[in-house]
Amino acid sequence: MLCPSFEIFFLYPIFYAGIGQFPILGGLFGASLFPYVGPISFGRDDSTARHPVLLRRFSKVMSETIPAPATSRAQSQPAISFEFFPPKTAEMENSLWETISRLAPLTPNFVSVTYGAGGSTRERTHSTIARILKETDLLPAAHLTCVGAARSEIDDIVGRYHETGVRHIVALRGDPPGGIGTPYLTHPDGYQTSPELVAGIKKRFPDIEVSVSAYPEKHPESRNFDADIDTLKAKVDAGATRAITQVFFDNDLYFRYLDRVRARGIDIPIVPGIMPMHNFKQARNFVTRAGTTVPNWLAEKFDGLDDDAETRKLVAATVVAGQVQKLNKHGVDTFHFYTMNRADLVFAICHLLGIRPAGAQKAA
């Protein structure tokens, strides 16, 4: 994701802070979910938000909130991409590769790998990217920030990626090494802003695609929305061809932001960043520091589930699937999932949206 530093793409600190290893979500839920599911509001013509209904069957929930599976991606099936973070330990590396193996058959457009605050995961990011290129058919996108490094150093990193075969960079300003809320200090010989970083990448390697960040609630350090969109436009003018949003939970925030962006003549894809929450309390604490609003209705969905990981997963899958379906209903056809290196919820949500592993046969 793209955190206060511009990247909640650095949600992986939540994982490091203690999101536990939950059992893999088996099968497609059953009736045990519906007592916890109530009206879900995602904005823009969501009548269910205004008329509470006791949903007695999980199948009824799915029929009302999830579109019928498409028969092919060409028939309105959403396009998807996934974000991973570089593992710190051998155990975490094994977990990551189990996740990649599970999600790869869903044929994402690309997968991105984050870059820690101040470049702290530089080598691990590169080795993860290199292994993805070597062992899978996935197209990796390397996150890159301009924090704490000279231009020459950043240019060398991009050159190394290019030699490895990477043709997609997610260019971000980056968090200060001290973390969220600490002063951001530019390197005297470095790229000073994310638009400068984008321009530097495109100048040296025109064949590299560059994605950037976008903020439906504006970046916490931006003076106002106009200034925030000025920055996005500068990144687009420098060569960015896609923007991935900070996580949001109210779809109206995304659509209002999209209206502002289009009014400024910015026509690149603004891809919603979607986060299934394995641990709501920890995720909420982090995303609010990053400037994301967590609606009361969402907190109520997870109320009383702190010690019930299985039910949390069921609720999270339903909530996120509903959010994505509402976005898709209003014309959004591409989604970027912040996986937290976990496959269970993301795979289930994609299944509910009609996305199947390549070659899988659908029931008649």
What percentage of the chain reaches a pLDDT higher than 70?
A: 75
Domain assignment present for 363: no
- Residue 115 binned pLDDT confidence (cut-offs 50, 70, 90): confident
Tens of pLDDT along 258-270? 999 999 999 999 9
What is the total count of domains within the chain?
A: 1
Domain assignment present for 2: no
Q: Can you give the pLDDT at residue 62?
A: 41
Domain assignment present for 360: no
DSSP state of 33: G
The CA distance from 143 to 151, in Å, is 16
For every residue of 55-89, which 3-state class applies, written as one string? CCCHHHHHHHHCCCCCCCCCCCCCEEEEEECCCCC
Domain assignment present for 3: no
Domain assignment present for 358: no
Q: Cβ–Cβ contacts within 10 Å for residue 125, how many? A: 25
The CA angle 219-302-328, to the nearest 5 degrees, is 60
Tens of pLDDT along 287-312? 887 788 888 999 899 999 989 989 99
Q: Put the strands of the sheet holding 168-172 in their side by side order.
A: 270-271, 242-245, 209-214, 168-172, 140-145, 111-113, 79-84, 334-338, 273-274
Task: Write down the number of H helices and E strands in the chain.
Answer: 12, 9
* Lowest-pLDDT choice from 63-67, 281-285, 286-290, 329-333: 63-67
What percentage of the chain reaches a pLDDT higher than 90?
A: 56
Domain assignment present for 226: yes
Check: CB of residue 124 under 8 Å from CB of residue 88.
yes
Domain assignment present for 288: yes
Across the range 25-54, mean pLDDT stands at 35
Residue type, 48: T
The CATH number for 88's domain is: 3.20.20.220
The CA angle 206-175-334, to the nearest 5 degrees, is 55
- Residue 38 binned pLDDT confidence (cut-offs 50, 70, 90): very low
Pairing of the two strands 242-245 and 140-145: unpaired
Across the range 229-242, mean pLDDT stands at 98
User: Can you give the residue range of the structural domain that contains 112?
Assistant: 12-352
- Residue 143 binned pLDDT confidence (cut-offs 50, 70, 90): very high
DSSP state of 105: G
Catalytic option among 7, 83, 196, 209: 83
Tens of pLDDT along 53-92? 333 333 343 444 444 444 334 446 899 999 999 999 999 9
pLDDT at 250 over 90: yes
**83 is a catalytic site residue:** yes
